[in-house]
Structure 1
């Protein structure tokens, strides 16, 4: 290849990374405005909803509460209710990620990002008008079905021609998440305070989501180059009904059955191991992350504001670690960095489990944040090196789907453990169980972890 062509490709790749980073930050600012509002939203619908849906779901949560032994004196129904809605959202993500990824392998990344963002706009519009719990739930379902922007963006990063660019891109995705989860909730609180309509305090945050996502759509339309050349695209989304089921069947997803180029090869074993490590890590991480609100309130009397500051500090730490260290050091060291992150998380869980003061709690959470900043970008970068160019959407979509499945079931099981066995056993047990994905990750052969398979397309 001529030097000027290399420079041209490098310039295009840098533009892709910059545009995707900005787009993800915008998208995540809109996505996270709802997070601090869940307790108030549930209180609003409890008071104002005239239908029976809220009452039915509240009865379900109360039954679950009794099953896991939460004392009547503990005011945790809103947290469990929010967890149930969050699990529904994650389950829908589990269904949509591999399908959106496979479609993007055929029609390109850019059109599917636009479709995903358009679905998000619709969900915000429905939320803005949701004077009933049914409409609110419809809005969350639309959001869960359409929110595939992150999955497709990681597929676009996986299209980039070098491992260095892919590593930079995966780290950038992590930084975008950190920024979104630090700033977005604060925007949600401010807009709910100053922009409301007839007591519907969520109108402001929902309207913010509409406006900022429309801006994102126009930004992507104008600035994002298509990363998947037509000559390298898959011929069809599905060639048979069984192949379609591979995109929805959890057992087939763990085997990456839809990725034909690595089936029955050494790389197939590596890819399966990476998927299992990703799932197990997020299963334990998300479950124990969810119960932090219980622990901080019960053990140290943290208010919602205290907890908001706690999560903001976690997000800030993650952004610093990802931007200042992981982004620079990840290339060629993904497996070692991910393993180190899991070790940090094991130590963090044990510290949190034993924490006898807020200082010890924050020491454990610091290790928690370092792990959160390290493991997922590194595992994503390792996974992105597998499969043909025409399969990157499927590969990254399946990976995101496995993560969504972990987030759908982890919080509920961790909550049950927390209230049945106690915080100390739950957190120390989670730390011990993290030895399983750690051992599995270390068993992956280094020579297979960063292999580029684009050469197969030629």
Structure 2
């Protein structure tokens, strides 16, 4: 199990490093190929396109990984990532970038398959810690990727994309040679309806006990898109960061994110429960959003990293809660559902966030951060509903939050 765990985590590290490599220079690349300093809708549309195609394809990887295994699905996803970065490295025009991004969205399944792999090999009582390690490894990749990408970006706008393509290729080779298949028991047949893009939404209706948690997951995903959409733009506009400083800021975020996920997420959930971890995450993230909205100096953003990263412990806790409430045969499908919902949020949120930001950047650029913090208020009734809800566990056993099945 340790060998499989280390292999899955190494794949996540390399994948995150590849993603982090391109983030510091993505706005500049889009400005360069679009031949305009004002990105406007283009930036949000570029981010949303990936999520839109991922939403359409998300039921397929999770269902196929349940039937045919995690390994082949992960390999196809990594191959799609290589093509995406190659397109961005060589694209002569704006729409070529969109084409490569669309292909990557269709084949994206790395996070969902990695989470399903961990579910296969980890017992229930250790899943929160395992998911925390998964997020920590993503943070480690983000320590390395943005620093290298920021430095390479000062040489050439295309260099980070070439480096990212090489990293994903290394990721592909590791998975091909080292990663074993973690899914041993497989369903006898596959339901054709499971491949429909709206299939996860129909599947959700069969498990009403999951609804409060899924609503919470959507809210966390939407709020999380604020930083993912405007961090680079906000740092450049308000604090005057150059490409190298943006890379350092993303690396710093990755460092504290890794610490929080490795040493806080799992232990906090195991000691006080996943619901308490969610409350801590929401409070910390809200405080960080409000603080950075009114910050006037760039070093304040660096000082807020611990709060931002404590805000990130909510997703592993939430994921741990949900995996306990579906059977082993449907863990891959659950990951597909979560990916689908996150992609649905990512389709709409970047467009809205970028439009709000570009409309308010010259008056109050921190407005979108404030709106993100206030969105967390919607979590309060969901958390109370979850506290009262009786859950139907696999096998027909009912229990409430804090009780053992």
User: TM-score with structure 2 length normalisation?
Assistant: 0.85
The number of aligned residues is: 393
Does structure 2 retain, via aligned residues, the 8 Å contact 1:90–1:407?
A: yes
User: Does residue 65 of structure 2 align to residue 110 of structure 1?
Assistant: no
Counterpart Cα distance in 1 of 2:299 and 2:160: 34
User: Match for 1:34 among 10, 22, 29?
Assistant: 22
Q: Secondary structure at the match of 2:386?
A: coil
Aligned-partner Cα distance in 1 for 2:252–2:280: 21
Return the alpha-carbon distance in structure 1 between the equivalents of residues 180 and 236 of structure 2: 47
Q: Which residue of 2 aligns with 1:347?
A: 287
Instruction: Give the 3 Å change call, closer, same or farther, for CA 165–276 of structure 1 in structure 2.
Output: same
1:88 aligns with 2:34: no
Mapping for residues 144-293 of structure 1, pairs under 5 Å = 144-191=105-152, 201-202=157-158, 204-229=159-184, 232-240=185-193, 243-245=194-196, 248-249=197-198, 253=200, 256-258=201-203, 263=206, 268-287=207-226, 289-293=228-232
2 CA distance for matches of 1:413 and 1:270? 30
Distance in 1 (alpha carbons) for counterparts of 2:87 and 2:301: 39
Q: Please say if 1:427 is aligned against 2:369.
A: yes
Write the deviation string for residues 294-352 of structure 1: whole angstroms up to 9, x where unpaired: 54444444444433333322221111111222233333622210121011112222222
Contact kept in structure 2, 1:317 and 1:366, CA below 8 Å = yes
Q: Rg: which structure is higher? A: 1
CA distance in 2, matches of 1:121, 1:356: 39
Task: Pick the aligned partner of 2:274 from 328, 334, 347.
Answer: 334
Give yes or no for contact 2:147–2:244 (8 Å, CA) kept in 1. Answer: no
**1:32–1:185: 8 Å Cα contact kept in structure 2?**
yes
Gaps in structure 2 of 5+ consecutive residues:
398-405
Q: Is the 8 A contact 2:49 2:98 kept in 1?
A: no
Residue 167 (structure 1) shift = 1.8
2: CA distance between counterparts of 1:329 and 1:104?
31
1:417: Cα distance to partner?
Answer: 3.5
C-alpha change, 1:344 and 1:282, in structure 2 (3 Å) is same
Q: Distance in 2 between matches of 1:44 and 1:330?
A: 45
Task: Give the Å deviation of 1:434.
Answer: 0.4
For residue 171 of structure 1, report the CA deviation from its aligned partner. Answer: 0.9
Pair 1:440–1:137, CA change in 2 (3 A): same
Report how far residue 32 of structure 1 moved: 2.8
Give the equivalent residue in structure 2 for 1:383.
322
Residue 225 of structure 1 and its aligned partner are, at CA, apart by: 2.6
RMSD value, Cα = 3.0
**Structure-2 separation of matches of 1:396 and 1:193:** 38
Describe the SS at the equivalent of 1:443: helix
Q: Which runs of 5+ in 1 are unaligned?
A: 1-11, 48-57, 59-74
CA change 1:118–1:343 in 2 (3 A) is same
**1:375/1:236 Cα in 2 relative to 1: closer, same or farther (>3 Å)?**
same
Alignment partner, residue 437 of structure 1: 379
Give the equivalent residue in structure 2 for 1:53.
none
1:320 aligned to which of 244, 247, 259: 259
Alignment CA distance shift 1:376-1:85 (3 Å): same
Cα distance in structure 2, aligned partners of 1:182 and 1:136: 25
Whole-angstrom CA distance in 1 between matches of 2:294 and 2:15: 37
C-alpha spacing 1:103/1:454, structure 2 compared with 1 (3 Å): farther
The aligned residue for residue 13 of structure 2 is: 25
Give the Cα–Cα distance (whole angstroms) in 2 for the partners of residues 395 and 183 of structure 1.
31
Change (3 A) 1:369 1:272: same
Give the superposition deviation at 1:433: 2.2
Cα distance in 1 for partners of 2:152, 2:375 equals 41
The answer to whether residue 8 in structure 2 is matched with residue 16 in structure 1 is no
Q: Secondary structure of the equivalent of 1:159?
A: helix
Closer/same/farther in 2, CA of residues 314 and 79 from structure 1, 3 Å limit: farther
Contact 2:269 2:277 in 1 (8 A): yes
Q: CA deviation at 1:447?
A: 8.6
* Match in the other structure for 1:68: none
> 1:113 touches 1:148 (CA, 8 Å); kept in 2?
yes
Comparing 298-307 with 321-330, greater Cα deviation is found at: 298-307
Whether the aligned pair in 2 keeps the contact of 1:233 and 1:389 (CA below 8 Å) is no
Contact 1:29/1:181 (8 A) holds in 2: yes
Q: Secondary structure at the match of 1:414?
A: helix
Spell out, residue by residue over 1:233-260, the C-alpha distance to the aligned partner (whole angstroms, 9 max, x if none).
Answer: 23344344xx543xx12xx64xx5336x
